[in-house]
Amino acid sequence: MLRYLRKLDEGQDAIRAELGDVKARLTKIETAVVDMRRDVVNIHVDLVRLDHRLDGMDERMARMERRLMLREDA
């Protein structure tokens, strides 16, 4: 009986060690997902900034066209 209990204890130790490895890997995956989400947010912010800059350039181009009489609208 004692032999079986020792084998069971050894098996549990192996499971604990593997579980520790799995937890460490899961933590790395979670960190990578958070980093990817942050990157996506930063890309979105950059796109919004570019959109605003393009809007400003479009307005400036329209003013230049009007001043050079290349555009007929008021």
- CA 9 – CA 11 distance, rounded (Å): 5
What is the mean pLDDT of the segment spanning 6-21?
95
- B/e letters for 37-56, b = 16+ CB within 10 Å, e = fewer, are eeeeeeeeeeeeeeeeeeee
Q: What is the pLDDT of residue 69?
A: 87
Q: What is the pLDDT of residue 34?
A: 98
pLDDT exceeds 70 at position 55? yes
- CA 44 – CA 49 distance, rounded (Å): 9
Which bin fits 73, alpha (ψ -120 to 50), beta or left (φ > 0)? Answer: beta
- CA 22 – CA 31 distance, rounded (Å): 14
Q: What is the pLDDT of residue 72?
A: 73
Higher-confidence residue of 71 and 29: namely: 29
pLDDT exceeds 90 at position 73? no
